[in-house]
Structure 1
Amino acid sequence: MTSDNEQCPADTGVSRQAEEWFALLLDEGATANDRAEFRAWLQRSPEHVAAYSELERLWLGAAALPEVMPNPSLTRRKVLKSGGALVVLAAAGLGSAIYLRSAAADYRTGVGETARFTLPDGSIVELSTATAISLDFTTNQRRVVLREGEAFFIVAPDASRPFVVACKQLRSTALGTQFSVGMQENDIVVAVTEHTVRVSSPTEEQDVREGQSVIFANDRLSVPVMMDVDAQLSWRGGKLVFISTPFEDVVATLSRWRRGKMIVMDRTLSRRPVSIIVDVRRAGRILENLENGLPIRIASYSPWLTLIYPQ
């Protein structure tokens, strides 16, 4: 997105500028430069922060309105070029799509929740925050669809019925095992804690062994690599463990455990590696944990928008 003078004529006002930024940042094609310019726009005036915060509030509220149906032909870029009222309407439709997708699930958790369920075949599933799965179990197959979030599976043996987890284009077939499948922004991560999982994309296949993980990103499947199992799946014990993790990645992960948006306002800070343990069973104190454990300053303008600065 270009500067305010180029992109947002003066007579459109702060509200329209906020709407255009909101629509742009919803777009999966938003670039790092877009996000940097957005941070600069927020810093220019408290009015900018207040206007964007109100859109965040409307967006999160829209997710609870299942009667609002999205227009499948309306892309986010088209929304960006349209009027302000349409931006808010599109946000309601997109939020509704998320609601309907998880509402169709057989098992789900809300933001900040985890849960453990026994499936009809005796397998165990543990759901992380904001997670939804659907089941398709028949006499010859056991298929789980991960719709949102992350799930950990302890698979009951049944040689006659493969256990498969489908997540978008990816298929993970258990070979008598324990493993997790998680959606992280535009990526899918499969991590194995016991035995082996065969992970297949439309063009590739990898056998992922105990202690390894793979990432599916940009339509490519990575080579399996060794991982820190305790850190990657620490949410199962009610904590999130970050070891030398870029701060922007820490914030992105923690954002899944609380409502509202957290934005790192300093580029150097966003890239800084940090090590911290956060107790997600006390989701309401995530911001307090960050401020106590790191040299940062947090400004919460509403329950919906939090800005993070270096101290």
Structure 2
Amino acid sequence: MTRAEAELQELTPLDREAHAWVRRLTSGEATGADADALREWCRRSPAHASAFSSASRLWRAVEPASKVLDEEANRAARQRSRTMARRAFIGGAIAASAGGVLLVRPPLDLWPSYSELQADFRTGVGERREISVADGVAIEMNARTSLSVTDGVVELISGEASFAASEDRLRDLEVRADSGTTATAHGRFDIRRVGAEVRVTCYANEVRVAHPSRTLMLRAQQQVSYRSGAIDEAVSIDPAIASAWQRGLMVFDMTPLDEVIADLNRYRTGHIVLLDRNLARSPVNGRFRIDRPDDALTQIELAFGIKRRTLPGGLILLG
């Protein structure tokens, strides 16, 4: 029996409830109603909020992971204080608690944030979904993707989606992701938003990517990445690799390991955390089926000589 498993057996009834919430959030099937119910549960007392905060540290038995989590929680607390005015929907008691911080910004993206759970459209683990938000606009959502629509503008909150505007559409299709907005008259493009980075890939015609620092045009088979403070130069890409997810495949061609893990977390329940950050930019090559993500996980273990440790809540530590 692991230390974590032994600790779980010693939990109080309140702690067990908190752990049940963590399991629900990491299942990939949590909903906006779940987020509201958890918010109310945390508001019952400081003990409830504290129990949820403690339950989220499922990997506290592993010292390196605990250190990373503590750093992320502290950073989230600082971010919360800077953006409190924009987080009015959280409410006083929950926003002031550790549980509130973990709902707004989950540690290491272990589960969906409150804004993701409240999105107009969401997909679960390994799920792809086609939707139409307006005439002449087709959208295919990859797994674990959240988006909303306001006044005709689509916002990609997290995940990855493919967008296409038909030739007879009269107005530009606009998609906002973090600090940038991608627009096109009749183009087809993907946007991927994972963590702090957004990646836009153009497949047909042209798309305009407007960022606070500058605006650029992407042509077919070009891609650009940006963050809040900077936008990179456009690069050429292989469209067959970039769009592999639409064919049910993960194709990695010298792809950094941390990006591979981000993909795997989209297609399997629970969450994978890479403890050895020295390996984060190590290249990975391979072709795997989306419905068999653990094949890729096994190859990663063999290729890099690292071991996995599985903790309650579906958390896997690599390193």
TM-score range, shorter chain: 0.5 to 0.7
Q: CA deviation at 1:100?
A: 4.7
2:317 equivalent to 1:307: yes
Tell me which of 199, 207, 211 is aligned to 2:221.
211
Residue in 2 aligned with 1:134?
Answer: 148
Q: CA deviation at 1:109?
A: 0.8
107-116 or 285-294, which deviates more = 285-294
Tell me which of 129, 144, 160 is aligned to 1:150.
160
Structure 1 unmatched ranges of 5 or more: 1-45
Residues 228, 51 of structure 1: CA spacing in aligned structure 2 closer, same or farther, 3 A cutoff?
A: farther
Q: CA deviation at 1:89?
A: 5.5
233-242 or 57-66, which deviates more = 57-66
Structure 2 unmatched ranges of 5 or more: 9-15, 44-73, 81-95
2:200 equivalent to 1:190: yes
Q: Deviations over 1:60-95 (max 9, x none)?
A: 535633231799xx9723699xxxx95356424656
Residue in 2 aligned with 1:249?
Answer: 259
Q: CA deviation at 1:155?
A: 1.2
Q: 1:129 is paired with a residue of what secondary structure?
A: coil
Q: What's the TM-score once normalised by structure 1's chain length?
A: 0.67
Q: 1:252 is paired with a residue of what secondary structure?
A: helix
2:175 equivalent to 1:165: yes
Percent identity between matched residues is 24
Q: CA deviation at 1:276?
A: 1.5
1:104–1:134 Cα contact (<8 Å) kept: yes
Q: 2:264 is paired with a residue of what secondary structure?
A: helix
What's the RMSD between the two structures over aligned residues? 3.6
CA distance in 2, matches of 1:223, 1:215: 8
The letter for the 2-side match of 1:152 is S
2:167–2:186 Cα contact (<8 Å) kept: yes
Tell me which of 92, 108, 112 is aligned to 2:122.
108
Q: Deviations over 1:175-201 (max 9, x none)?
A: 311101110210111100111101101
Q: Which structure is higher in RCO with an 8 Å CA cutoff and minimum separation 6?
A: 2
Residue in 2 aligned with 1:262?
Answer: 272
260-269 or 208-217, which deviates more = 260-269
How many residues are matched? 252
Following TM superposition, the consecutive aligned residue runs of length 4 or more in structure 1 with deviations greater than 6 angstroms are 48-52, 54-57
Q: CA deviation at 1:230?
A: 1.7
